Amino acid sequence: MRNVIRAGLVLITLALASPAAAQETKLQVHGYLTQAYGAASGGTFLGIPEGGTADYRTAALQLRYTMSSTDQFVWQFSHRRLGTSPITVGEPELKVDWLFYSRQMGNLNLRVGRLPIPAGIYNEVRDVGVLLPLYRAPYNFYFEGAFTSETVDGIAARYNLFADAPWNVELSVYGGRYDMTNRSISYDSTGTPAAVSPEVVDVDNALGTQLWLNTPVDGVRAGFGASRMDAQSGGFQGKWTEWHGSVDAHTRWATVQAEYRRFDIPDVIYTAGYVYAGVHATPKLTLHGQIELSDVVLPAAPGTPKFDYDRTKAFGASYAFRADLVVKGEYHFTNGYWADAPVSDLGFAPSKVSYFLVSFSTSF
């Protein structure tokens, strides 16, 4: 892996040092960076401690080689830091994020390799700060570092139906396998939740689809997706199924988004959703508000108990100096079981942790 990364960095250096040569060889270099500072109150949430941390960022460099008018090769390296979060312990400083070949055949696009999973509004751009209203995509729906994967090792196809009609459809399907890092809770001798640790899970036979219905109103669309997978290890070993729905509306003055999803996991049903509203006060200044929630049902337990797993409210503001240069400030109030500390679990009192983030995002 180190040799692969070294080779990629050499290619990036040559491309940046020789723009004329890059043009002749049809090589494009893109990238993004989001750097944040955050501090929490009442505990630690997603690696943000009470004492504050600046070890919080996402970044990537992407090489895109155009082999012909219909063929491309994409290679993306990524870097992520989540402060003190135990989920990212041992994660390499640089990793191969995307590595795929793409072929365009009319309205059909095929991709083979390690490629982004088409799921919801944000999964394919979940780390690109200039495209996100807040620092991260809504956590209860998209997760971060646990119970999720941005990519799949396999194949994907996307087809545009009625591409030139006012109402048109984008249909994507994918299949393959990936590694997923789950969140595991350990207990002390009294049976009290004591610590959160990562649990690497091998996921096979992953299949999924995403459909977007684009309306005649510019910027307004609705989506639906579903997936299934086999978790080969971990505390939730077995067959997982999932479905989700999305509404995404952008206008000159406001943006409104809402998504809902359901996971059926062995002995657990997890549901989550959010509603986001952004007011574009000026062409550069946007005010943000977001409500998230998630619930857990234990169908195999006596009485089929249901738990309010998380309730989060957030507000913030962002200022875009340019489309590729954005600063944000945001505050989150959480009440649930996602906190790193104090650790809690179903049947115990939820943790109430608040935190703020100030971030800077750029891309090229």
Give the DSSP letter string of 19-69: HHHHHHTTEEEEEEEEEEEEEEESSBBTTB-TT-EEEEEEEEEEEEEE-SS
Instruction: Look at residue 347 in the predicted model and tell me its pLDDT.
Output: 87
Chain segment 17-45, per-residue pLDDT in tens: 455 544 567 899 999 999 999 999 999 99
Percent of the chain with pLDDT over 90: 80
* Average pLDDT rounded to a whole number, residues 281-292: 98
Count of beta carbons in the 10 Å neighbourhood of residue 161? 13
Instruction: Look at residue 4 in the predicted model and tell me its pLDDT.
Output: 47
Cβ atoms 205, 177 nearer than 8 A: yes
Instruction: Look at residue 23 in the predicted model and tell me its pLDDT.
Output: 52
Chain segment 67-77, per-residue pLDDT in tens: 999 999 999 99
Question: What type of residue sits at position 159?
Answer: Y
Rounded distance, CA 177 to CA 182, Å? 16
Q: Residue 233 in 3-state DSSP? A: coil
Question: What type of residue sits at position 265?
Answer: I
Residue reference for tokens 């723009």:
19
Cβ atoms 261, 233 nearer than 8 A: no
Q: Which residues pair with 273 in a beta bridge?
A: 260, 293
Instruction: Look at residue 10 in the predicted model and tell me its pLDDT.
Output: 46
Instruction: Look at residue 81 in the predicted model and tell me its pLDDT.
Output: 94
More confident residue, 20 or 157: 157
Rounded distance, CA 38 to CA 142, Å? 20
Instruction: Look at residue 325 in the predicted model and tell me its pLDDT.
Output: 98
Rounded distance, CA 32 to CA 324, Å? 9
Instruction: Look at residue 180 in the predicted model and tell me its pLDDT.
Output: 87
Cβ atoms 208, 214 nearer than 8 A: no
Chain segment 231-272, per-residue pLDDT in tens: 998 888 999 999 999 999 999 999 999 999 999 999 999 999
- Residue 12 predicted with pLDDT over 90: no
Instruction: Look at residue 24 in the predicted model and tell me its pLDDT.
Output: 60
More confident residue, 331 or 4: 331
0.85 exceeded by the pTM? yes
DSSP letter at 341 equals: B
φ and ψ at residue 11, rounded to 5 degrees: -60, -40
Q: What secondary structure does DSSP assign to 280-300, as a single string?
A: ESSSSEEEEEEEEEEEEE-TT
* Average pLDDT rounded to a whole number, residues 272-289: 98
Instruction: Look at residue 321 in the predicted model and tell me its pLDDT.
Output: 98
Cβ atoms 202, 174 nearer than 8 A: no
Instruction: Look at residue 14 in the predicted model and tell me its pLDDT.
Output: 46
Cβ atoms 304, 298 nearer than 8 A: yes
Chain segment 112-151, per-residue pLDDT in tens: 999 999 999 999 999 999 999 999 999 999 998 667 788 9
Residue reference for tokens 């409104």:
256
Confidence of residue 2 (pLDDT cuts 50, 70, 90): low
Choose the weakest-confidence range: 30-34, 169-173, 212-216, 345-349: 345-349
φ and ψ at residue 88, rounded to 5 degrees: -100, 10
Instruction: Look at residue 195 in the predicted model and tell me its pLDDT.
Output: 87
Q: Mean pLDDT, the chain, as a whole number?
A: 92
**What's the distance, Cα to Cα, between the start and end of the chain in Å?**
26
φ and ψ at residue 325, rounded to 5 degrees: -150, 105
Chain segment 78-120, per-residue pLDDT in tens: 999 999 998 777 778 899 999 999 999 999 999 999 999 999 9
Instruction: Look at residue 6 in the predicted model and tell me its pLDDT.
Output: 52
- Residue 161 predicted with pLDDT over 50: yes
What is the rounded radius of gyration, in angstroms, for the C-alpha atoms of the chain?
A: 21
Q: Residue 23 in 3-state DSSP? A: helix
